[in-house]
A and B are shown apart, each in its own frame.
Chain A
Amino acid sequence: MCLAVPGKVIEIWDTETTRMAKVDFGGITKEVCVAFVPDIQVGEYTIVHVGFALQRLDEKSALETLAIFASLGELEMEFGDPWDRAAVEAGVAGKAQEAS
């Protein structure tokens, strides 16, 4: 039900009944009906399902989401294992590493 693919709008025109666009999916272009996103602009991205653009893709939101993913595990990378840290501070780093 949900196979919808993101593409970039490269041309827009009106027909007698509706608004159409040429959408670029990474080199493959296809004519798509954009009646449901009537204010979409050339250069914007949209998701396309069975020949219709259903929603605009929000770039800012996409970047934020990717940033969340990238930040996972970072805290640990920055501060490392708390036991190791304590051992280093106590001057017994070598032994802590052997033990772990």
Chain B
Amino acid sequence: MNATGAPRLISVVIPVHQGAPELRRCLDAIAESDVPREQMEIVVVDDASTDASAVIAGQYADTVIRLSGRPRGPAYVRNRGVELARGDVVVTVDADVCVHRDAIRRMVERLDADPAVGAVVGTYDTMDVGRSIVSDHRNLYQAYRRLRAEGDVDAYWPACGAVRREVLTEVGPFDEWHYWRPQAEGAEFGRRIRRAGHRIVLDPRIQGTHLKSWTLIGTLRTDFANHALPWARLLFHAGDLARVRTPSFGWREKTNAMLTVLTVFVLALRVRWPSTGMTAFVASCIVAMLVGYGSFLRFALRHRGVFRAALFVPLQVARYLVAVMAIIVGWLLHHLVGEPRRDVRDDALAEVGLQTWPPVPTRLPSDSWHLPPGGRLADSISHITAARS
């Protein structure tokens, strides 16, 4: 219920790019939600797809926004949807996620239960959707991390999350200037929500099935370039890499990453300088690493069986190595380059102030790249306002 006692209007914003088959299943899942349809407004934003995404969206959605030109990424696309959304609560769902029947209701109930909660995020479920082993590992691992991370987090998760309209208005939309691919826009948005004094709660009962199919190269590239690297750059900028609370940066993750790097390092030494002592050391490192992985491997064993769980070990090793490499590169880029640079065409158009459709990406006056480390959002906004006047 909203302030006037009327049922809340919930806007579900779904960005899509070349995702027609998954979009249909995503929209089917939303249509089967236990929230009455008249309380939901479905807004699908098509990011310059050349497949039938917009047409499929039209079969279900109240509003379809068809963006032309080149794809501009989910942050930009979600913002276009949010601009037209009318709901008191804005739910963001990725086009390749099938939310469970009760997910949207649970999001709204969680927001209703505590006014201090500005946003709610959920998790992937553990369902095996029959994709490759790489996809299964990735989805199961994400589910594992998030299912264990109930409570307050610092990052918003746009794949399956909800935010109050007033919080969105207060902190501003997703940062479409710095994130033009599916990158760290949720982390950046979450930082602003937290800095404005609102809570972000991860509720593991809010679940969706991830339909995305991954290849090994694709998942490693995405982990490096779109997840770990932008996160690392943002967190180095903010200076709180050690303090951030998200499922990706828990103590277990950090320990496992260090154990993995150590194991690979001593294994390389053992290959170069074989000795009995070195072999024993390598063996003990591998044991320590597997003990570190133990919690996830037990989880995988329970949901997928011995064979799959065993196959997940090398994939875990690759993930941690990529993550550590990305943090090192992120540290270098932070010191050598600074903030991520926008595409030069957008930079030029923004400078000229040309009004176009689709609009030129805009830089928020309050994005995390403007905030001084440890600074408050309100201080930053008042400082910028004073400078402009």
Asked if chains A and B come from one complex, the reply is no
